[in-house]
Amino acid sequence: MRPMLRLLMGLGLLACGSSPPAAPTNGHTTTSELAALERPDSGSRGARPVVRSGELVMGLDATRTLIARRMAVPDHADPPFRATVALWESGPVAHRLPWHYDDVFIAHAALLPGGGLAVIDAPGRLVLLDSPQSAPRIVAEGANGPIGVSPDGERITFVYGDMPDFELVEVTRAGGPPRAVTTALAPVWCGAPGRANGSAVFASGSGGEAGAWISSPGESPWRVAGVPFPSGLSAPHAVALGDRDVYVYETEVGIAVLDVRGSLVHSTQSGRAPFLHGDGTLEYLTSAGWQSIVLSARAVTP
């Protein structure tokens, strides 16, 4: 496959997962129907919602899941991805939560620690909500997803620029002007902050070939050789696995867990929408439903 075609297919802004339906009208559940809507599923940590045909997982954390239903958009539309996004909470039976953007077309959404959410709305503004139904607060404009969030929720990344000249930028939860995370590495996509200030992981096509890149505090970003690059609709996330920091993300074909020093801890050739819990339990979605495995901190090579 030609490198540029691989780049465009890898962009979370474009084709991700299954083909979009014509429009999320018939069968779409409105907020007024939430009380009667439940989705049973198996799982030792509480049920995740079942992901139906035409739906995509946009993000998840320990207890919540964002499920998107895509809207068909014309070629070269701005933004190139629009969806309605449902917020679900795990439990004995997964249940849907009302939130500010129910039944509203948006470009992207991500979960923030403490119950908040980050959203890129249809006009491309990055807005933050302290709780699902609180008023949105605009912190940046011209944003493109996916939205990356640091483990403490204080740093938020997105890509900025005109396609394909995207670079990764970061804003703080408190607001203020965006800070450039990458420079002259376009096209950049699927980025997220690490646990340490100044750290990040992202995909870049710099040099004409897609690859995984890491930015560490006080160092220039560097390409990680021989590992799959981030792709898909949701951004990577950072977590501590034992005494090591790792990044977890979707790839073109499956899932990768990458040590911040560039060692590949774990990878799969299938699955999507991964989330790594602090105890090493890795949840992810397969064609058979939600699955989980336990990763050992000993698997991380020094």
What are 76-129's pLDDT values in tens digits? 666 566 799 999 999 999 999 999 999 999 999 999 999 999 999 999 999 999
Residue 242 lies in a domain: no
Q: Mean pLDDT over residues 121-149, rounded?
A: 96
In the block, residue with structure tokens 């992901």: 51
Tell me how far CA of residue 72 lies from CA of 24, 34, 101, 164, in angstroms.
9, 25, 19, 21
Residue 234 lies in a domain: no
Peptide bond into 274 cis (omega under 30): no
Instruction: Quote the number of domains for the chain.
Output: 1
**What integer pLDDT is reported at residue 79 of this predicted model?**
56
**What integer pLDDT is reported at residue 80 of this predicted model?**
60
Q: What are phi and psi of 193, to 5 degrees?
A: -70, 155
Domain encompassing residue 138: 3-228
Residue 121 lies in a domain: yes
**What integer pLDDT is reported at residue 74 of this predicted model?**
66
**What integer pLDDT is reported at residue 73 of this predicted model?**
65
How is residue 133 written in tokens?
């139904």
Residue 237 lies in a domain: no
Please, which residues have CB within 8 angstroms of residue 79's CB and are 6 or more apart in sequence?
13, 73, 107, 120, 122, 124, 144
The one-letter amino acid code at 172 reads T
Q: Is the pLDDT of residue 136 over 50?
A: yes
Buried b (16+ CB within 10 A) or exposed e, 163-191: beebbbbbbebeeeebeebbeebbbbbbb
Residue 268 lies in a domain: no
Domain with residue 199: its CATH number is 2.130.10
Q: Is the pLDDT of residue 29 over 60?
A: no
Report yes or no: 117 and 111 within 8 Å, Cβ to Cβ.
yes
Q: Is the pLDDT of residue 12 over 60?
A: no
Q: What are the beta bridge partners of residue 192? A: 201
Output the pTM of the full model: 0.84
Residue 300 lies in a domain: no
Q: What are phi and psi of 199, to 5 degrees?
A: -105, 150
Q: Is the pLDDT of residue 250 over 80?
A: yes
Residue 297 lies in a domain: no
Residue 294 lies in a domain: no
Q: Is the pLDDT of residue 143 over 50?
A: yes
Q: What are phi and psi of 299, to 5 degrees?
A: -75, -15
Least confident of 81-90, 122-131, 136-145, 226-235: 81-90
